[in-house]
Amino acid sequence: MGSGSALRIGIIGGSGWLGGAIAAAALDSGTVLSQDLSLSYRSECPHIFPDAFWTSDNQALADRSDVIILSVRPADWPTLNVNLKGKLAISVMAGIRLSGLCDTHQTQRAVRALPNASAEVRKSYTPWTATTGVNEADRTVVRNIFDACGVQDEVRTEAEIDYLAGLTGSGPAFSALLAESMMTDAIARGFDRLVARRAVNTLLIGTGRLLEKRNGCPTETVQTFLDYRGTTAAAIEAMTDAGFGTIVRRGLSAAFEKSVRMGDAS
């Protein structure tokens, strides 16, 4: 730890979208103070978080931090030559194994976490898993960081993280895909594009807030509409008959297999 009880956090890739979102959430929640936050950039220093320490030297960032968040593209990670000297490493890179993180960065305290795009609005679901070297104090740090981004859960295995790379790590992409299909259908039926977009976006925003407020099971919501036997039930049954569930499972399987392959290649 740094001087006093202040936690010093470094984010390698802090100029990127996800790294910046985590930094903003940690600052807003008071998890880290501006002067104890270090961020790295590749080519040009961004004009954000002006009171934080910015550097293009990732080793310098690690040396002045207690916790280092690795937020670079998985394809760029093999060239990231940084010695963490036993410090807590938190990877938000899909596919990179804990063993690889420990070996590459000289630490036995490593965490794999998968925040998603909703971290920007503090609504990310972030699953994470840790090595045996991660202690309870480290776990508290991880929980604080990702609670600031939304909701977090520690899961049991890396296999669960690989699966969740598709289920939750994809963030709003799947909901946006559904929205795009609905909007496209409305436009094909003659609706103005702006009207179609507003209708679909408002629908999904309302659905999310309703699920959040009720905190119920999605199955119960679906069943309620099926039991009503109205237009929604007709749509649900038609989608199910067309293989909606099969398509979703196929997509999640593809994401899981991709995460496993990325880890095997690292």
Please write the tens of the pLDDT for every residue from 197-232. Answer: 999 999 999 999 998 898 889 999 999 999 999 999
What pLDDT does residue 2 have?
47
Produce one character per residue of 237-247: b if its CB has 16 or more CB atoms within 10 Å, e if not. Answer: eeeeeeeeeee
The residues, any chain, with a CB within 8 Å of residue 142's CB and separated by 6 or more, are 90, 111, 113, 128, 130, 134, 152, 154
What pLDDT does residue 1 have?
53
| Stronger pLDDT, 237 or 216, i.e. the higher one | 237
Mean pLDDT over 244-260 rounds to 95
What pLDDT does residue 203 have?
96
pLDDT band at 17 (very low <50, low <70, confident <90, very high): very high
Question: Helix (H, G, I), strand (E, B), or coil: what is residue 67?
Answer: strand
Give tens-digit pLDDT for 72-121. 999 999 999 999 999 999 999 999 999 999 999 999 999 999 999 999 99
- pLDDT surpassing 50 at residue 147: yes
pTM of the model: 0.90
- pLDDT surpassing 80 at residue 265: no
State what percent of residues in the chain have pLDDT above 70. Answer: 98
pLDDT band at 239 (very low <50, low <70, confident <90, very high): very high
- pLDDT surpassing 50 at residue 30: yes
Tokens encoding 196: 């179609």
CA 56 to CA 61: how far, in whole Å? 8
Q: What is the mean pLDDT of the chain?
A: 95
Give tens-digit pLDDT for 2-11. 445 689 999 9
What pLDDT does residue 264 have?
83
Domains of the chain in sequence order: 9-156 (3.40.50.720), 173-265 (1.10.3730.10)
What pLDDT does residue 3 have?
44
- pLDDT surpassing 70 at residue 166: yes
**Could you please report the per-residue DSSP string of 188-241?**
HTT--HHHHHHHHHHHHHHHHHHHHHH---HHHHHHHHHHHTSHHHHHHHHHHH
Backbone angles phi, psi at 11, to 5 degrees: -120, 105
